[in-house]
Amino acid sequence: MLALIASFFLLSLSVYGLPAQDILNAPRPRPLVIWHGLGDSYASSGILEFQSMIQDIHPGIFIHSVYIDPDDKEDQRATFYGNVDEQVDLVALQLANVTELEGGFDAIGFSQGGQFLRAYVERYNTPPIYNLITFGSQHMGVADMAVCKPLDLLCRLARNAARAGVYRPWAQEHLVQAQYFRDPAQLPLYLESNRFLTSINNELPATRNATYARQLAALEHLVLVIFAKDKTVIPKESAWFGSYPPSEDGDDTDDEVIVPMRAQPLYQEDWIGLRELDERGRVVLTSCEGEHMQLPTECWKPLVERYVGLPQS
């Protein structure tokens, strides 16, 4: 009976001018993985709406939204509290067990989700990411904590705790923002205390990992999106691997001076494969107008059309 139904279906396609074999062999769009940002969750209304819009652009695309906890509220809490290295380990295991992702996928990281996906590329990348798009991500860390909304108690508690002792062991183990806090006035302390950002940026010569550089350089494209009026990520140029210069003797940072990506030691000495990727024309620097994570359609849609959902066998 099933064979009869299948034959009738294929015959119907031919009658309407649709070659049956072409339909069966039509390539599917490459899957997509999304990692949300601070204060968001994997199944929030915003993430679900964004997924729906992508599916309108690429019909039939499979999308997986990364989660640390299947409970939506706990997943949101994990964006503030938790060990980032352990979270990346958890996500690597999660992605390895999603059948639809076995052949690889494209990925979008919102805010801190962007550098977390980069950590996945460098440390795991099985299955592999092909194109990685990061929106307003803190690739060179932040020099100040994000300002919270007035009634966001969870954010305010985490921010106050981090600011009180950002480089103390407890903060570096349990406060997510602290694990990518890079104070130009305290770089020696940062290099001594931080475990996550110093690792994925290969900043410590004694533990520099050549695998990180090789795997990042293997990306098809790394698309770095900055928000032109971003006041949440400090400095906003961190989204493009920019940072404040080291300040001497603990002086205050000159927030008018930025060390751009191609002037960073990380780039010039190619600690993470970023220079190799860029010299092959595979690093894309682009911007969105507006504040942090304000995503008008004209900003994100061309990127999703070009770097997401390419046909796969």
**Residues designated as active site:** 111, 230, 292
Tokens of residue 106, six digits: 């494209």
Contact 81, 110 (CB under 8 A): no
CA 67/CA 285 separation, integer angstroms:
27
Instruction: Report which of 50, 106, 112, 51 is spatially closest to residue 76, judged by C-alpha positions.
Output: 112
Q: Is residue 1 within 8 Å of 282, Cβ to Cβ?
A: no
Q: Please answer whether residues 143 and 166 qualify as being in contact, where contact means their C-beta atoms are separated by less than 8 angstroms.
A: no
What is the four-CA torsion angle of 113, 232, 223, 204, rounded to 10 degrees? -70
Cα–Cα distance for residue pair 101/63, rounded to 1 Å: 9
The 3-state secondary structure of 153-213 reads HHHHHHHHHHHHCCCCHHHHHHECHHHHECCHHHHHHHHHHCCCHHHHCCCCHHHCCHHHH
Please tell me the distance from the alpha carbon of residue 297 to that of residue 283, in angstroms, as a whole number. 22
In the Cβ-directed half-sphere of 26, how many Cα atoms lie within 13 Å?
11
Task: Report the alpha-carbon distance of residue 224 to residue 162 in Å, rounded.
Answer: 27
The answer to whether 231 and 134 are in contact (CB under 8 A) is: no
